[in-house]
């Protein structure tokens, strides 16, 4: 059989049209399906097995629209930020925010009405950063917190008590440091990335004040950050571990006696170490200080570019406000998180005893959430300064002065935008 | 006949030209346009700010610091890669047997992804605990473990960054030099030998290097441009979920965080990209003129 050039070109064009029409056709939108409505929902990739199947099961159980779940590995925050600029993004998406710029830019929908009558049942610490000018832009799904894990036997052998102040933490870490074990692991960057504002809150300060000013223009801030430098300078910090702070491997492998990590690591630590571990909040510093843990929550948001915003909001309300059984399953069935609903957190059996109960108490009594006004630019400036203080021994006071200038400019910008 | 040839030209070139225009030139021009607007979380901004983004970027210590990082990186990587790839080419060129084998062995790393190589360097060879390969070797000599990527005094992270790029790139440039070496007329070496030039440094200096001038200029230009574009190994060696340390942040990594990270300041990021593109263009043109690219040896 011979193929003429015309036939070949025709076939090629046909394939081309097919490919082009096939590309991007599965946006999860358009007509057809249940109730004629289709919704695309995005999640970031959770590490815990079973979570993906669970969220797909929840979506399949929704009868008023056909919900397509996309499980997205990689830099999820960047992916969603870029997708929100286009019409092919999600209708409903999980977000570690939304950010102030996303709210001010009109990229996410106002979800205040979804919480009518149940607003008080959501953990206020994590609802506050999703609230701007009285309107809620994200429904918190689960609460996560970070804390200090310590190995009881190692502390006992070294004659060290669990540290209650930042000074004690510095001394304990040094005493626990030996040839093969370091005293403390705060991440491979010495804590600059993960600690963020935690040492400031532990010193009785805050990132942004109630009246919208930089909350750490105070000698206590420089004093607290200087102690992180001391930990580094005394070689008490584990650096260069194969996995970073979010993974408990360094702690479990005995490379460090104490590690700052997340609540999510608790089941694994418990499984490996039994009761040979305890948890603590970040210790207080100075007379005005108080123990502190950061809390945060992924929330469900609705894209302002969704073609069916009402349906998207109805789905979010169904899943993250009404279906408390799914919310509890999502928080505790696969990984280990605190349900965002106070009533669910109180009745969850897994959170009532041992280190889990301690973690819930820390989150309730000592939890702080990064304020909405703390923009990524402020975060970068602060984190850079913290890195220079810890690793280069830069002067904390002059570094913080520079950060205060940058943060003040950012706060002026966002106030001007609003 | 001519019309038919033109038709076939566009059939084959057209789709690629359209792709190039759509995915390269339009975004590029759009980015230049964005750089004059306040564009937080939008690619269709309305607030014209003139040159504000440019002045903000040039006053930004983090951006100027990233340019300094690039200069340090270039100062290391360009001469070292140049010397290493030339040395490899000279060695392989002298091998009489299994030359293709050695050529392939040195070239193979060029086929490896920067991301994969960076992760191997970070997690296996240069991790900071005692069972990392580099630290195991140090341990044999009784030396303490080194946190290679976390230590700024001394800045061991440069060793990791430079070696991974050397491993990935040297083979590619070796092939360019090898091609240049094989184009040198053997008569020149014979004539030099007759004139009493001893093989070795004298011949290298007076015959080989001058004959490799065109190749050397091209390699230098490529090395400098590639250094400006450094991203993958820096990002994968040093970033984590919470950010990136300021001490080894080249311009592209900084612009990535500004424009595409949580910052989503596309106007500021675009201004930075334009500034960076202009710097690359100026350096490249200056370098080409200095090295007299395109001039024949007789001029």
Strands (DSSP E) found in chain B: 37-38, 47-48
Of the residues B37, B147, B150, the best mutation for testing chain A's interface (the one with the most A CB atoms within 10 Å of its CB) is B150
**Does the CB of A240 have a partner CB in chain B at under 8 Å?**
yes
Q: What is the pLDDT of residue B96?
A: 81
Q: What is the pLDDT of residue A6?
A: 45
Q: What is the pLDDT of residue B4?
A: 85
Of the residues A189, A294, A303, A417, the best mutation for testing chain B's interface (the one with the most B CB atoms within 10 Å of its CB) is A189
**CB contact set of A374 (below 8 Å; sequence gap of 6+):** A197, A207, A208, A407
pLDDT digits (tens, 9 = 90+) for A269-283: 999 999 999 999 999
* Average of per-residue pLDDT across A45-49: 87
Q: What is the DSSP string of B182-251?
A: HTS-HHHHHHHHHTTPPTTHHHIIIIIHHHTHHHHHHHHHHHHHHHHT--HHHHHHH-BTTB--GGG--H
Minimum-distance CB partner of A78 among B132, B152, B261 = B261
Give B118's contacts in chain A (Cβ within 8 Å). Answer: none
Q: What is the pLDDT of residue A12?
A: 44
Is A78 within 8 Å of B245 when comparing Cβ atoms?
no
pLDDT digits (tens, 9 = 90+) for B27-79: 999 999 999 999 988 888 889 999 999 999 999 988 999 999 888 899 889 99
Minimum-distance CB partner of B245 among A78, A192, A246 = A192
Minimum-distance CB partner of A101 among B41, B130, B145 = B41
**CB contact set of A301 (below 8 Å; sequence gap of 6+):** A92, A93, A94, A95, A97, A98, A108, A109, A111, A137, A138, A139
**Does the CB of B125 have a partner CB in chain A at under 8 Å?**
no
- pLDDT-derived band at B234 (thresholds 50, 70, 90) equals very high
Minimum-distance CB partner of B240 among A77, A244, A375 = A244
* Average of per-residue pLDDT across A309-334: 95
pLDDT digits (tens, 9 = 90+) for A366-391: 999 999 999 988 999 999 999 999 99
* Average of per-residue pLDDT across A312-328: 96
Average pLDDT of chain A, as a whole number: 90
- Residue B117 β-bridge partners: none
Of A95-99, A124-128, A394-398, B72-76, highest mean pLDDT: A394-398
**Does the CB of B242 have a partner CB in chain A at under 8 Å?**
yes
Indicate whether B298 pLDDT > 70. Answer: no
**Does the CB of B140 have a partner CB in chain A at under 8 Å?**
no
Of the residues B243, B268, B270, the best mutation for testing chain A's interface (the one with the most A CB atoms within 10 Å of its CB) is B243
**Does the CB of A248 have a partner CB in chain B at under 8 Å?**
no
What ipTM was estimated for this complex? 0.82
Nearest-CA residue of chain B relative to A391? B152
**Which residue pairs, CB below 8 angstroms and at least 24 apart, start in A132-137?**
A132/A100, A132/A103, A132/A104, A132/A372, A133/A418, A135/A110, A136/A110, A136/A111, A136/A112, A137/A98, A137/A102, A137/A103, A137/A108, A137/A109, A137/A110, A137/A111, A137/A301
- pLDDT-derived band at B295 (thresholds 50, 70, 90) equals low
**Does the CB of B149 have a partner CB in chain A at under 8 Å?**
yes
* Distance to chain A for B26, nearest Cα, Å: 16
Minimum-distance CB partner of A376 among B123, B132, B262 = B262
pLDDT digits (tens, 9 = 90+) for A164-212: 999 999 999 999 999 889 999 999 999 999 999 999 999 999 999 999 9
Is B262 within 8 Å of A78 when comparing Cβ atoms?
yes
* Average of per-residue pLDDT across A4-25: 42
Is B247 within 8 Å of A391 when comparing Cβ atoms?
yes
Average pLDDT of chain B, as a whole number: 90
């Amino acid at each position: 059989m011979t193929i003429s050039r015309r036939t070949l070109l025709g076939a090629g064009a046909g394939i081309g049209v097919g490919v082009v029409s096939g590309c991007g056709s599965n946006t999860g939108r358009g007509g057809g399906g249940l109730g004629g409505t289709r919704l695309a929902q995005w999640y970031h990739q959770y590490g815990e097995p079973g979570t993906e199947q669970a969220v797909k099961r929840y979506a399949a159980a929704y009868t008023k629209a056909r919900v397509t779940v996309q499980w997205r590995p990689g830099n999820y925050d960047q992916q969603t930020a870029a997708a929100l600029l286009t019409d092919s993004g999600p209708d409903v998406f999980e977000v570690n925010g939304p950010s102030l710029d996303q709210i001010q830019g009109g990229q996410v929908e106002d979800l205040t009405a979804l919480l009518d009558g149940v607003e008080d049942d959501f953990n206020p610490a994590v609802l506050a950063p999703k609230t701007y000018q009285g309107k809620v832009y994200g429904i918190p799904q689960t609460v996560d917190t970070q804390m200090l894990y310590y190995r009881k036997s190692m502390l006992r052998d070294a004659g060290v008590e669990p540290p209650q102040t930042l000074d004690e933490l510095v001394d304990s870490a040094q005493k626990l440091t030996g040839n093969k074990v370091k005293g403390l692991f705060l991440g491979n960057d010495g804590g600059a990335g993960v600690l963020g504002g935690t040492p400031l809150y532990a010193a009785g300060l805050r990132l942004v004040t109630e009246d919208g000013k930089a909350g750490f223009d105070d000698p206590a801030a420089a004093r607290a950050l200087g102690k992180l430098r001391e930990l580094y300078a005394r070689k008490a910090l584990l650096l260069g571990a194969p996995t970073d702070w979010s993974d408990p491997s360094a702690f479990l492998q005995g490379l460090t006696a104490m590690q700052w990590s997340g609540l999510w690591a608790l089941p694994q630590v418990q499984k490996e170490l039994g009761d040979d571990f305890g948890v603590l909040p970040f210790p207080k510093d100075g007379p005005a200080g108080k123990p502190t843990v950061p809390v945060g929550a992924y929330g469900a948001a609705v894209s302002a570019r969704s073609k069916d915003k009402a349906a998207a909001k109805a789905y979010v309300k169904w899943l993250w406000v009404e279906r408390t059984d799914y919310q509890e399953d999502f928080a505790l069935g696969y990984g280990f998180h605190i349900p965002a609903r106070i009533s669910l957190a109180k009745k969850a059996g897994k959170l009532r005893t041992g280190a889990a109960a301690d973690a819930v108490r820390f989150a309730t009594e000592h939890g702080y959430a990064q304020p909405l006004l703390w923009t990524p630019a402020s975060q970068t400036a602060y984190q850079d300064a913290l890195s220079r203080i810890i690793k280069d021994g830069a002067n904390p006071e002059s570094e913080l002065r520079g950060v205060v200038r940058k943060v003040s400019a950012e706060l002026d910008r966002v106030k001007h935008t609003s | 006949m001519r019309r038919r040839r033109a038709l076939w030209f566009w059939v084959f070139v057209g789709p690629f030209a359209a792709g190039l225009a759509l995915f390269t030139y339009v975004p590029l021009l759009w980015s230049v346009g964005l750089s004059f607007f306040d564009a937080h979380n939008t690619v269709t901004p309305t607030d014209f700010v003139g040159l504000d983004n440019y002045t903000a970027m040039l006053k930004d210590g983090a951006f100027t610091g990233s340019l300094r990082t690039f200069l340090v990186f270039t100062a290391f990587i360009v001469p070292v890669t140049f010397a290493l790839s030339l040395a490899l080419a000279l060695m392989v060129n002298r091998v009489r047997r299994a030359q293709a084998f050695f050529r392939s062995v040195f070239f193979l790393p060029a086929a490896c992804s920067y991301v994969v190589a960076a992760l191997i360097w970070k997690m296996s060879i240069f991790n900071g605990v005692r069972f990392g390969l580099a630290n195991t070797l140090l341990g044999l000599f009784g030396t303490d473990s080194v946190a290679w990527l976390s230590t700024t005094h001394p800045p061991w992270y440069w060793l990791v960054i430079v070696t991974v790029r050397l491993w990935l790139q040297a083979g590619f440039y070796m092939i360019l030099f090898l091609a240049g070496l094989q184009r040198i007329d053997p008569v020149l070496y014979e004539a030099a030998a007759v004139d009493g030039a001893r093989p070795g440094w004298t011949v290298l200096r007076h015959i080989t290097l001058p004959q490799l001038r065109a190749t050397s200029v091209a390699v230098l230009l490529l090395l400098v441009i590639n250094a400006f574009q450094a991203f993958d190994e820096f990002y994968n060696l040093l970033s984590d979920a919470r950010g990136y340390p300021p001490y080894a942040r080249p311009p592209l990594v900084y612009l990535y965080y500004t424009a595409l990270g949580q910052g989503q300041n596309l106007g500021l990021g675009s201004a930075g990209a334009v500034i960076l593109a202009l710097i690359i263009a100026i350096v490249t043109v200056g370098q080409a003129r200095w090295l007299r690219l395109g001039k024949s040896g007789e001029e």
